């Protein structure tokens, strides 16, 4: 008798893709990575994947149609996490692509196994990502992947199907049954493996088994994927305490978990612009703020105008935003000098209390670091502002009543009206602050619902608004 190992080796040798470490684009992530990587690779692979999962959450929160979601996520995957077929050009390193996909999944599994809420959201997003990839894959590719797995289901025999013909036809009246010849293909699985099909009465139940037509095979595969991810997450959670003393990895995992809880990827990079060829001056900020600033920055700007002052956290958040907006250091100094106390601050006092911090934010003082503008995740997860402070995210930190008032007051002239508030409030109550912000952008810029910043992309950074 030939051993299982020899059969597997013979099968691999017969495959034209036997040289690949990852022979399939689809992956159940049953085996963890077993190779050395750098911390940069550890984090970058996870962030790229987190971008995709966060966009999936955004699409689900916005009730995008399955086809729209598939289009948006496929575009995001091609941009951040491409996975080409085995038949791709020889110029494409498909193994390297699949390694990043594999590694990113396991890093996020470490980050999101630590609470029930994180696990639930991770499983939901990962299952949707697998579903989209499954539906976009070539059927031959899908069949090869499924053949490589050992699933706990069996194909029903023709005799068995014939004996149940009338009952199966009653459940699936549109499935063709030839008068002569083999009946349509069905699989027998435990009914607990297809709860969605059972709930929709799309399967015949007999003696604890569900008879699933081949046309509904996707549901079995997705349920199998979800159950394996859930089981593996539980095991990962039990092993996580062993990392408690690793001060290199734990901060990264916490950083990533904050990103998912905030609903957006923890990507702090943003290229400081020069106004797309237009020189931004201090005198232009007032007009630009009325329509083109997100609510967090509009709130800071209006409070600065009203109080002639901002607390330190607000000044830092707003200064870095204006820097990313294209305001030069010289113009920033002009702007803040005119803004503080109505421009009545003495030069010596301004230089002593404020100018150094402005120059520091622009990397011209202290350790001369090039500080990037704050992204939404950092703003959302920052310390709760006090009554005298204006920083943070209004969608998270404002009460619903204050949020509604702010939206109507600040964006009423840009198309915002009370009929849009219930939808925005629902996103806020569900914790999807970035989706609420994206919807405000669509309304105030007269953009079709679902388009976001273009192609369905959500607001993940104030400077992208």
Residue 437 counted as an annotated binding residue = yes
CA angle 138, 139, 144 (to 5 degrees): 100
Query: Do 205 and 337 fall within a single domain?
Result: no
User: For residue 205, what is the enclosing H or E element?
Assistant: strand 204-206
**Residue 194, domain extent:** 151-220
Any domain includes 257:
yes
Residue 414 counted as an annotated binding residue = no
CA angle 303, 305, 309 (to 5 degrees): 70
Question: What pLDDT is recorded for position 11?
Answer: 45
Any domain includes 30:
no
Question: What pLDDT is recorded for position 114?
Answer: 83
The two three-digit tokens of residue 158, written as one number: 């023709």
Query: Do 353 and 232 fall within a single domain?
Result: no
Query: Do 132 and 254 fall within a single domain?
Result: yes
- For residue 344, which of 308, 300, 306 has the smallest C-alpha distance? 308
The DSSP 8-state label assigned to residue 327 in this structure reads B
Any domain includes 314:
yes
Any domain includes 1:
no
Are 338 and 282 in contact by the 8 Å Cβ rule? The answer is: yes
Indicate which CATH number applies to the domain containing 88: 1.20.930.80
d(CA 54, CA 43): 16
For residue range 135-163, what is the model confidence (pLDDT) as tens digits? 999 988 898 898 888 787 888 988 899 89
Q: Tokens 């894959």 identify what position?
A: 137
Show which of 167, 198, 220 is a domain's final residue. Answer: 220
Query: Do 316 and 171 fall within a single domain?
Result: no
The two three-digit tokens of residue 99, written as one number: 């390694």
Q: Tokens 């110029």 identify what position?
A: 91
**C-alpha distance across the termini of the chain, in Å:** 65
Query: Do 335 and 198 fall within a single domain?
Result: no
Any domain includes 168:
yes
Any domain includes 174:
yes
Query: Do 201 and 165 fall within a single domain?
Result: yes
Show which of 220, 249, 270 is a domain's final residue. Answer: 220
Q: Is 16 helix (H, G, I), strand (E, B) or coil?
A: coil
Query: Do 175 and 155 fall within a single domain?
Result: yes
What is the radius of gyration, based on Cα positions, of the chain? 27
Residue 59 counted as an annotated binding residue = no
Any domain includes 24:
no
Query: Do 333 and 373 fall within a single domain?
Result: yes
- CB count within 10 Å of CB 178 equals 8
Query: pTM of whole model > 0.85?
Result: no
Query: Do 135 and 238 fall within a single domain?
Result: yes
Compute CA distances 313 → 189, 271, 392, whole Å. Answer: 57, 22, 9
Q: Tokens 């190992």 identify what position?
A: 5
Question: What pLDDT is recorded for position 262?
Answer: 67
Question: What pLDDT is recorded for position 229?
Answer: 95
Residues in the chain: 465
CA 48 from centroid of its chain's CA atoms: 9
- The torsion angles phi and psi of 231, rounded to 5 degrees, stand at -65, -45
Show which of 167, 201, 220 is a domain's final residue. Answer: 220
How crowded is the C-beta side of 311, counted as CA atoms within 13 Å? 9
Handedness of CA 51, 53, 57, 59 (dihedral sign): positive
Question: What pLDDT is recorded for position 275?
Answer: 46
Domains: count for the chain: 3
CA 142 from centroid of its chain's CA atoms: 25
Exposure string over 371-388, b if 16+ CB within 10 A, otherwise e: bbbbbbbbbbbbeebeee
Any domain includes 60:
yes
Q: Tokens 């113009």 identify what position?
A: 331
Query: Do 58 and 168 fall within a single domain?
Result: no
| Residues in the chain where the model's pLDDT stays below 50 | 1-14, 268, 274-275
Within 8 A by CB and 6+ apart from 70, the residues are 132, 135, 136
As a dihedral over the C-alpha atoms of residue 424, residue 426, residue 428, residue 432, rounded to 10 degrees, the angle is -100
Query: Do 415 and 449 fall within a single domain?
Result: yes
Helix orientation angle between 66-80 and 39-61, rounded to the nearest 10 degrees: 160
Exposure string over 187-218, b if 16+ CB within 10 A, otherwise e: bbbebebbeebeeeebbbeeeebbbbbeebee
Query: Do 109 and 258 fall within a single domain?
Result: yes
Beta strands, E only, 289-369 = none
């Amino acid at each position: 008798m030939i051993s299982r190992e020899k059969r597997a080796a013979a099968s691999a040798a017969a495959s034209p893709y036997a040289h690949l470490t990852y022979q399939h684009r689809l992956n159940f992530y049953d085996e963890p990575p077993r190779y050395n990587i750098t911390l940069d690779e550890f984090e970058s692979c996870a962030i790229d994947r987190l971008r995709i999962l966060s966009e999936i959450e955004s699409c689900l929160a916005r009730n995008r149609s399955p086809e729209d979601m598939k289009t948006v996520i496929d575009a995001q995957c091609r941009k951040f996490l491409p996975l080409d077929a085995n038949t791709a050009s020889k110029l494409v390193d498909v193994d390297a692509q699949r390694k990043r996909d594999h590694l990113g999944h396991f890093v996020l599994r470490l980050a999101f196994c630590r609470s029930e809420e994180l696990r639930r959201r991770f499983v939901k997003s990962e299952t949707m990502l697998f579903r989209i990839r499954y539906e976009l894959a070539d059927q031959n590719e899908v069949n090869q992947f499924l053949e490589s797995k050992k699933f706990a289901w069996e194909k029903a025999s023709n005799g068995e199907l014939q004996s149940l013909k009338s009952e199966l036809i009653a459940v699936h009246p549109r499935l063709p049954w030839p008068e002569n010849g083999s009946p349509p293909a069905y699989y027998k699985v435990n009914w607990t493996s297809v709860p969605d099909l059972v709930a929709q009465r799309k399967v015949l139940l007999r003696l604890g088994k569900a008879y699933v037509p081949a046309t509904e095979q996707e549901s079995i595969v997705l349920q199998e994927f979800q159950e394996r991810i859930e089981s593996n997450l539980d095991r990962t959670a039990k092993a996580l305490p062993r990392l408690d003393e690793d001060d290199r990895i734990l901060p990264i995992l916490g950083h990533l978990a904050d990103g998912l809880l905030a609903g957006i990827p923890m990507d702090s990079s943003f290229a400081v612009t020069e106004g797309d060829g237009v020189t931004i001056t201090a005198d232009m900020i007032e007009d630009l703020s009325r329509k083109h600033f997100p609510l967090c920055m509009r709130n800071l700007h209006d409070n600065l105008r009203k109080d002639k002052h901002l607390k330190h956290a607000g000044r830092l958040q707003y200064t870095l935003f204006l820097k990313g907006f294209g305001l030069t250091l010289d113009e920033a100094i002009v702007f803040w000098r005119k803004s503080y106390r109505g421009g009545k601050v003495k030069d010596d006092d301004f230089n002593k209390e404020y100018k150094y911090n402005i120059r520091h934010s622009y990397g011209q003082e202290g350790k001369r670091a090039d500080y990037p503008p704050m992204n939404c995740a950092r703003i959302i997860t920052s310390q709760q502002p006090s009554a005298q402070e204006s920083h943070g995210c209004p969608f998270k930190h404002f009460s619903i009543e204050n949020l509604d008032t702010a939206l109507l007051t600040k964006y009423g002239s840009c198309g915002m009206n009370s009929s849009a508030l219930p939808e925005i409030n629902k996103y806020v109550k569900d914790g999807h602050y970035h989706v609420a912000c994206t919807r405000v952008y669509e309304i105030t810029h007269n953009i079709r619902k679902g388009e976001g910043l273009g192609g369905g992309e959500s607001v993940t950074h104030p400077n992208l608004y």
